[in-house]
Structures are given as structure tokens and as C-alpha cells.
């Protein structure tokens, strides 16, 4: 674990070394396809930039659709992050503090049960399935499947629905204040929280704790992402970086007219390049360029 969370005396305005000459930054990053390679999930090509952030005591926050259990497992192994935002902004872990801006877990369960009772087909969720069942459905190994099943505020459904079933489930989700989001492989019951809201909650929490006070100016928020569900986070950042895909054209993200860097390489290679570029040029606000 980095000193940022484990040492309560740590403060961003009292870092060591070069940081005294730098404006303070904080970095929020998507994982899959952004810091992690799309195919092999490696962050190794970003090793240099990660080490530079650590040397400068710049906090790094993961923002992902993964569960907190999955993020903790990654961080326990690699010690990359100072904070974790999981389930697309629905749940946050800062040290021992867990916050859940997403819907209550009981609401997710009530909605899934109501859908199951209303439909004439079997309906399960990751939350109610065994690791073996999740592994069979997803192709994950058993350990990964167990981590993917530990969900706070969203639940991918395991079912074989018709369009009628989907529409009925969407209506029931809405009655519970939830939505049913159609992903690549699953329909997921979830709330309306997004990554930007979770980012603001983390920033407010850290400011309240006195941990985001720069020596000579405001703290600049850097956000990096690769897909439409990162757009709100990039829009809310001071410095937005879009990471292109390994194959095909970069998606057009709705950034509300906000300018953003497009990294020259996909995945962790692009991540590495852009963090160095931003720190080399002391860019504090892309809109001022
Ligand atoms: Mg991604």
C-alpha cells in the first residue's frame, strides 16, 4: 500500500522531492483497455509512469466496473492504487473506509427477486450464484469468479430472456429506482451512479481530510479512460486523456465540448506516454492551452 492511505500524516502539500516544484495532481484511471492491456490485462508498459507518480506522491485512484473484491485482489498483488472505485462508481474504498453511492444491496436483491417472480424463466444473478456457476457462465477461473460475485450495488443477470422478458425486467428495475443496462454479454441491474459522481465524492472526502491542498495552486485532476462509460469522468476532470483501442477507431466520447488528449498508443503504452507528457509539461488545465 502506498503511503497516501496508510500514513495518516501524509499530506499532498508535504510530499518529498520534486513535488515541491510541481502543481499537485491526482490521477483517476479506468482499468480495462486503459491502464490494463485489452488482451493480457498487463500494466507493465506503464511501469515507468507509475513509478514517477509514486515518487512524486501523486495519488492514483482506480475507477472500474470491477467489484471491490476484484480491485482489492489486484491491489494486494501489485500495490498500484491509493483508492478504489468499483462497479462503475457504485462503491468506493479509501483505506478502511467504504462508501456506497450506488443503490443499497437490498434494493438490488429485491428488484432481482421481483423480476424472477414476474417471469416464467429462471432468473439468477451473480450475487445469488456459486463461483462454479459464475465460472461456467463467464469462463473465469473459480477464484476470479468468486471475486466477481462479491457485488455491492450491481448484479449481472444469468438468464435466457426474450425481448418481452427484457422489457418486463426493465420496467421492474425502474419501479425499484434502478436500471437494466445491456452490456456485451450480460444485462446488469444497477443504479444511475456514474464514475464522475464517485470521483467527486473521493475528491470531497480527500479535501475534507486536508489531503488535497497544493503548495502553489489548485490540485489538478487527471482522468484517463477509453470508452463511453468513462466520458463523465473525463468531462469532470481538469485534464482528460482518451486512450485509443488496440484495434479500430477510437469511439467518439461525449465530453460536452471539453478538449481531451488522445494518447498516441493504446492501453498501458499510451497511459505511460501521457502521464509523462503531462508531468513533463506541467499541464495544469488543458482548457488553458
Ligand atoms: Mg475501459
Fold designation for 105-190: 3.30.980
Supply the pTM of this predicted model.
Answer: 0.88
* Residues 6 or more apart in contact with residue 240 via CB below 8 angstroms: 223, 234, 255, 258, 259, 260, 261, 286
What is the 56 CA–ligand 1 centroid distance (Å)? 26
Q: Which fold has domain 3-101+194-288?
A: Rossmann fold (3.40.50)
Q: How far is CA 51 from CA 17, 45, 56, 224, in A?
A: 14, 12, 9, 17
Question: Cell triple for residue 54?
Answer: 509514486
- How is 96-121 classified by DSSP, letter by letter? TEEE--S--HHHHHHHHHHHHHHSSS
Q: How many A from CA of 42 to the centre of ligand 1?
A: 13
Q: What is the 54 CA–ligand 1 centroid distance (Å)?
A: 23
The set of cell numbers assigned to 20 is: 515541491
* Separation of CA 38 and ligand 1 centre (Å): 8
Tell me if 30 sits within 8 A of 244, measured CB to CB.
Answer: no
pLDDT band at 58, cuts 50/70/90?
very high
C-alpha 267 – ligand 1 centre gap (Å): 9
3-101+194-288 and 105-190 share one fold: no
Tell me what pLDDT residue 196 has: 95
pLDDT at 80: 96
Q: Is the pLDDT of residue 286 over 70?
A: no
Would you kindly state where each structural domain of the chain is located, as residue ranges? Answer: 3-101+194-288, 105-190
Nearest-10 Cα torsion for 193, 49, 37, 141: -80
Check pLDDT > 70 for residue 103. Answer: yes
CA of 36 to the centre of ligand 1 (A): 8
d(CA 151, CA 155): 7
Amino acid at each position: 500500500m502506498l503511503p497516501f492511505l496508510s500514513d495518516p500524516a501524509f499530506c499532498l502539500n508535504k510530499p518529498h522531492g520534486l513535488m515541491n516544484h510541481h502543481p499537485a495532481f491526482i490521477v483517476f484511471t479506468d482499468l480495462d483497455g486503459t491502464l490494463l492491456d485489452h488482451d493480457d490485462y498487463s500494466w507493465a508498459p506503464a511501469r515507468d509512469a507509475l513509478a514517477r507518480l509514486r515518487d512524486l506522491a501523486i495519488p492514483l485512484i482506480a475507477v472500474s466496473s470491477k467489484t471491490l473484491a476484484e480491485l482489492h485482489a489486484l491491489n494486494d498483488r501489485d500495490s498500484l492504487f491509493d483508492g478504489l472505485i468499483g462497479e462503475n462508481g457504485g462503491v468506493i474504498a479509501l483505506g478502511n473506509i467504504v462508501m456506497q453511492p450506488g443503490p443499497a444491496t437490498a434494493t438490488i436483491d429485491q428488484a432481482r427477486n421481483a423480476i424472477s417472480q414476474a417471469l416464467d424463466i429462471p432468473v439468477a444473478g451473480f450475487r445469488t450464484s456459486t463461483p462454479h456457476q459464475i465460472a461456467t457462465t463467464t469462463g473465469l477461473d473459480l477464484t476470479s469468479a468468486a471475486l466477481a460475485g462479491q457485488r455491492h450495488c450491481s448484479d449481472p443477470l444469468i438468464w435466457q430472456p426474450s425481448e418481452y422478458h427484457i422489457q418486463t425486467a426493465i420496467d421492474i428495475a425502474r419501479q425499484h429506482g434502478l436500471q437494466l443496462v445491456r452490456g456485451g454479454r450480460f444485462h446488469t441491474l444497477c443504479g444511475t451512479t456514474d464514475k464522475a459522481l464517485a470521483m467527486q465524492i473521493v475528491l470531497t472526502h480527500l479535501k475534507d481530510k486536508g489531503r488535497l491542498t497544493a503548495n502553489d495552486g489548485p490540485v489538478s485532476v487527471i482522468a484517463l479512460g477509453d470508452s463511453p462509460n468513462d466520458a463523465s469522468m473525463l468531462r469532470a476532470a481538469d485534464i482528460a486523456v482518451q486512450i485509443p483501442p488496440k484495434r479500430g477507431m477510437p469511439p467518439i466520447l461525449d465530453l460536452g465540448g471539453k478538449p481531451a488528449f488522445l494518447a498516441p498508443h493504446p492501453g498501458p503504452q499510451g497511459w505511460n506516454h501521457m502521464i509523462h507528457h503531462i508531468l513533463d509539461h506541467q499541464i495544469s488545465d488543458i482548457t488553458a492551452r
